[in-house]
Amino acid sequence: MCSGSSTSDTGRFEVYRPDGRRYGSYTLDTSGSGNTWKDRAGYAWNFAPYNHLQRPDTRWVAGGFLNYDFNEVAEGYLEVMYMNDRTDAQIAPSGDFFGNTFLLNVDNRC
């Protein structure tokens, strides 16, 4: 069976009852005004993501080495290098996969 990540592009909200029991898992419903929640059951995000495995790159490299023995006690050498590297990076969207959790006070009490 194939599935996406449980991390959500619109957020993953685990709701708990005051006694600590889990109430449900929700995400923001973006189909309407964006002010409502929907159950995350069956919701999978990042299935077949558009990650860039190879970045566009332009590279110019040159090099040169020269060694010359003038006599038995004197040697000369020359090293020449050149490099012009250009790269563009585009990072695909990702989630927080390390289980970081933030508690939100949603009952307007301090």
Residues 3, 41 contacting (CB under 8 angstroms): no
What residue segments make up the domains of the chain, in order of their start? 13-87
Element (DSSP H or E) covering residue 68: strand 57-69
42: which DSSP letter?
T
Length of the chain in residues, anyone? 110
pLDDT at 2 over 70: no
pLDDT band at 48 (very low <50, low <70, confident <90, very high): low
- Most confident among 27-31, 94-98, 101-105 (mean pLDDT): 27-31
* Predicted confidence (pLDDT) per residue in 75-91, tens digit: 999 999 999 988 777 66
d(CA 56, CA 90): 9
Q: Kindly report the number of other CB atoms within 10 A of residue 33's CB atom.
A: 7
Q: What is the pLDDT of residue 28?
A: 81
**pTM greater than 0.75:** no
